Chain A
Amino acid sequence: MGPGSNMKDRTAARHTLTHLFIIALGLLMIYPVLWMIVSSFKPNNMIFSDPGLIPKAVTLDNYISGWKGYAGVSFGRFFINSLLMCAGAVIGNLIACTMAAYAFARLKFAGRNFWFAVMLVTLMLPGHVTTVPRYILFNTFGWVGTYLPIIVPKFLATDAFFVFLLVQFMRSLPKEIEEAAIIDGCGKVGVLTRIIVPLSTPALVTVALFTFLWTWDDFFNHLLYLTNPAIFSVSRALRTFVGDAGAVSNWGGALAMSTLAMLPAFILFFTLQKYFVQGIATTGIKG
């Protein structure tokens, strides 16, 4: 055995150790989530006596009791509410952020640098400073108790993060195709819809993805504006499982509905993984 193969052995051993360590830590990290999923299928009286991941008895009772929902409104309704609201938010962000990003990235106009700097500042602005006046404003419009306070701001590109992400992406696109199209008589709108948008698909998927997830998971705005059980979102409805005193009567139902609430995030994550990594790595998206 030469010194070379000895070193190979040591590297292999070190790699195995690293693997074992990463796997062990990873298991520890996702154990609570796995336990939640498994426990949602356990009979209510066995949930806490059993910290293991293999249920001794399997039942769908928790899903049936949880699905009944709150104040006569079922979780089915809450899911439809959340999906519609998220769809509105995604459409709004895609249209408005793309328009703003196109102007910043590809058009020359007086004041561009100034407005771009302003946009970067709003990126850092803590949202809570506008919360009270926005609430008063939306209340004057009669919008409290509707989805409008959540959806309309998206049509006004208030998520500067996404404008920034799209600007970065559009700046990297080659100028030549665009110039050729302009020579062929294509207007600015045509350039945007026929050239920039198709080329920006990866970035637009990232925008749609995170808009969906953040709107789905948001709680603060849902708490302020979704004031009546018929229009509750999933996250607003889940809160009713944890009462004001923090007492929970139906833990099985709470865990079952929480598991269902996480389903869209899981599905999107595992089907669109590369867009996640792209989005996070390029803009440092929160979390």
Chain B
Amino acid sequence: MTSTGLVNEPGVVARKKSGIVKFLRRDGVAYMFLAPWLLGFFVLTVYPMAYSLWLGFTNYDFTQPNSTQWIGIANYLKMFGPVFGLSNFTASTGEVMRVDPYYMKSLSVTFTYVLVSVPLKLIFALAVAVLMNQKLRGVSFYRSVYYIPTLLGGSVAIAVLWRKLFEKEGLLNGLLGAIGFTNLPGWITNPKFALWTLILLTVWQFGSSMIIFLAGLKQIPQEYYEAASVDGASKTRQFFSITLPLLSPVILFTLVLQTITTFQAFTQAYIIGGGGGGVLNSTLFYTLHLYIQGWQYHEMGYASAMAWVLLIIIGVFTAIVFKSSNLWVSYGTGE
């Protein structure tokens, strides 16, 4: 294009005159390819985000959208009122509103779930990846077997199975009973254990993190280990001085992605809780609570406010992880 510029002198001038013509000639084709994505971005991301920010300050009810009112920060007071010892408050509309008695519970359930299952999952994934990163026969077969729970894990089918494993009359109690245990609890119906069955289900699916770590381990030059062995460094020492630092960027990446995904878990809790938060709301995940508020109680204004708080929580968490990465992630510049 530029090489013809000399020959087409008048054309160049004409193009300079009109910015739009120039833009269309040069960039029009690219934007044509980008059009579906751009349309999706504006209609299905930007507009919904702005809309839900607004909805969060209203009492939008799906069944009667015409009576929607601006209620200020009432939805946020409904969530965080209990922190300030509130049980009722008067909204800007003059209406007396009750705080949400379950919001804080859903928050603590979700935090426990994320803070326990994500680190455990990554530790398992790393341990198994290190174990498999040897010159062993059949590693690719083992890798497949370990990936199977991840392949199926998010499905309703597995959630149904999980219920069956941990019920009072389930498989686990059958096994424990066979070796002489009596008086066993129903793991899913007991509020002390229910969340832990979900954590176990999540940790069980460490397969994709394992594959990512395995790919990362393959990038570490073998010479580093050989040199360390010559210097007399033990396997443990090698793991902490070579493997962990060199793998730390990959760990950071996986940690961020897993945290974001785990905060949004829904299916397993919904199925195992039978459509609710389980006994005493012991498995009331954040997104499950959001679904119940929005779609069962039609409180979509409130659900939107909840979604924005979740966005902020995830944002803060991601920022903390990235900030902390200065301390533990090494972007090695050689040695």
Interface positions of A (Cβ within 8 A of B): 15, 18-19, 21-23, 25-26, 29-30, 32-33, 35-36, 48-51, 95-96, 99-100, 102-104, 107-112, 115, 118-119, 122, 124-137, 139, 153, 155-158, 163, 188, 192, 213, 216-217, 219-220, 223-224, 235-236, 238-239, 241-248, 251, 254-255, 257-259, 261-262, 265-266, 269-270, 273, 276-277, 280-281, 284-287
Residues of chain B in range 266-288 having any CB-CB distance to chain A below 8 Å: 266-267, 270-276, 287
Q: Which residues of chain A have C-beta atoms less than 8 A from B35's C-beta? A: 99
Q: Which residues of chain A have C-beta atoms less than 8 A from B55's C-beta? A: 132-133
Q: Which residues of chain A have C-beta atoms less than 8 A from B156's C-beta? A: 217, 219, 235-236, 238-239, 258, 261
Q: In the complex the two chains form, what is the Cα distance from A228 to B219 in whole Å? A: 50
Q: In the complex the two chains form, what is the Cα distance from A245 to B37 in whole Å? A: 42
Q: In the complex the two chains form, what is the Cα distance from A135 to B300 in whole Å? A: 10
**Whole-angstrom distance between the Cβ of A157 and the nearest chain B Cβ:** 4
Residues of chain B in range 126-175 having any CB-CB distance to chain A below 8 Å: 128, 131-132, 134, 136, 138, 142-165, 169-171, 174-175
Per-position binary interface string of chain B over residues 155-197, scored 1 when its CB falls under 8 Å from any chain A CB and 0 otherwise = 1111111111100011100110010000000001000000000
A-B contact count (CB 8 A): 272
Q: B151 near A129 (CB under 8 angstroms)?
A: no
Nearest-CB residue, chain A, relative to B263? A126
Given A29-B204, A110-B27, also A129-B310 (CB < 8 A): yes
Q: B171 near A107 (CB under 8 angstroms)?
A: no
Known: A100-B37, A239-B156; 9 extra A-B contacts, CB below 8 A, are A29-B149, A51-B171, A136-B300, A224-B295, A243-B274, A248-B163, A258-B156, A259-B157, A284-B212
Q: In the complex the two chains form, what is the Cα distance from A230 to B254 in whole Å? A: 40
Q: Which residues of chain A have C-beta atoms less than 8 A from B48's C-beta? A: 129-130, 132-134, 137
Nearest-CB residue, chain A, relative to B175? A51
Give the 10 A-B residue pairs with the shortest CB-CB distance, closest first: A156-B40, A246-B274, A258-B157, A133-B48, A109-B30, A287-B208, A130-B48, A100-B37, A281-B215, A109-B27
Asked if B75 is an interface residue, CB under 8 A from chain A, the answer is: no
Asked if B331 is an interface residue, CB under 8 A from chain A, the answer is: no
Q: In the complex the two chains form, what is the Cα distance from A54 to B35 in whole Å? A: 56
**Whole-angstrom distance between the Cβ of B206 and the nearest chain A Cβ:** 9
Q: Which residues of chain B have C-beta atoms less than 8 A from A32's C-beta? A: 161-162, 165, 171
Asked if B297 is an interface residue, CB under 8 A from chain A, the answer is: no
Q: B52 near A133 (CB under 8 angstroms)?
A: yes
- How many chain B residues sit at the interface, stated as a range, is 35 or more
Q: B33 near A99 (CB under 8 angstroms)?
A: yes
Q: Which residues of chain A have C-beta atoms less than 8 A from B49's C-beta? A: 129-130, 133
Q: B300 near A242 (CB under 8 angstroms)?
A: no
Given A51-B175, A156-B39, also A100-B34 (CB < 8 A): yes
Contact of B304 among A48, A49, A133 (CB under 8 A): A133
Q: A128 near B287 (CB under 8 angstroms)?
A: yes
Asked if B246 is an interface residue, CB under 8 A from chain A, the answer is: no
Asked if B107 is an interface residue, CB under 8 A from chain A, the answer is: no
Q: In the complex the two chains form, what is the Cα distance from A281 to B218 in whole Å? A: 11
Q: A219 near B260 (CB under 8 angstroms)?
A: no
Nearest-CB residue, chain A, relative to B214? A281
Nearest-CB residue, chain B, relative to A97? B37
Q: Which residues of chain B have C-beta atoms less than 8 A from A192's C-beta? A: 33
Asked if B41 is an interface residue, CB under 8 A from chain A, the answer is: yes
Asked if B88 is an interface residue, CB under 8 A from chain A, the answer is: no
Asked if B318 is an interface residue, CB under 8 A from chain A, the answer is: yes
Interface positions of B (Cβ within 8 A of A): 23, 26-27, 29-31, 33-41, 43-45, 47-49, 51-52, 55, 62, 65, 128, 131-132, 134, 136, 138, 142-165, 169-171, 174-175, 178, 188, 204-205, 207-209, 211-212, 214-215, 253-254, 256-257, 260-261, 263-264, 266-267, 270-276, 287, 290-291, 294-295, 300, 303-304, 307-308, 310-311, 314, 318
Given A280-B212, A284-B254, A287-B205, also A158-B40 (CB < 8 A): yes
Contact of A112 among B30, B134, B142, B162 (CB under 8 A): B30
Q: B36 near A96 (CB under 8 angstroms)?
A: yes
Given A224-B295, A258-B157, A287-B154, also A219-B270 (CB < 8 A): yes
Q: A217 near B294 (CB under 8 angstroms)?
A: no
Q: A48 near B33 (CB under 8 angstroms)?
A: no
**Whole-angstrom distance between the Cβ of B263 and the nearest chain A Cβ:** 7
Q: In the complex the two chains form, what is the Cα distance from A157 to B36 in whole Å? A: 7
Q: Which residues of chain A have C-beta atoms less than 8 A from B136's C-beta? A: 15, 18-19, 22
Nearest-CB residue, chain B, relative to A257? B157
Q: In the complex the two chains form, what is the Cα distance from A246 to B29 in whole Å? A: 54
**Whole-angstrom distance between the Cβ of B151 and the nearest chain A Cβ:** 5
**Whole-angstrom distance between the Cβ of B2 and the nearest chain A Cβ:** 12
Q: Which residues of chain B have C-beta atoms less than 8 A from A188's C-beta? A: 29, 33
Q: Which residues of chain B have C-beta atoms less than 8 A from A280's C-beta? A: 208, 211-212
Q: Which residues of chain A have C-beta atoms less than 8 A from B40's C-beta? A: 96, 153, 156-158
Q: A246 near B264 (CB under 8 angstroms)?
A: no
Q: A48 near B174 (CB under 8 angstroms)?
A: yes
Q: Jot down 21 A-B pairs with beta carbons below 8 A, ordered by A.
A: A25-B128, A51-B174, A96-B36, A103-B34, A110-B26, A115-B38, A122-B45, A124-B318, A126-B310, A129-B48, A156-B36, A158-B45, A188-B33, A220-B291, A244-B275, A246-B274, A258-B157, A265-B151, A265-B152, A281-B214, A287-B207
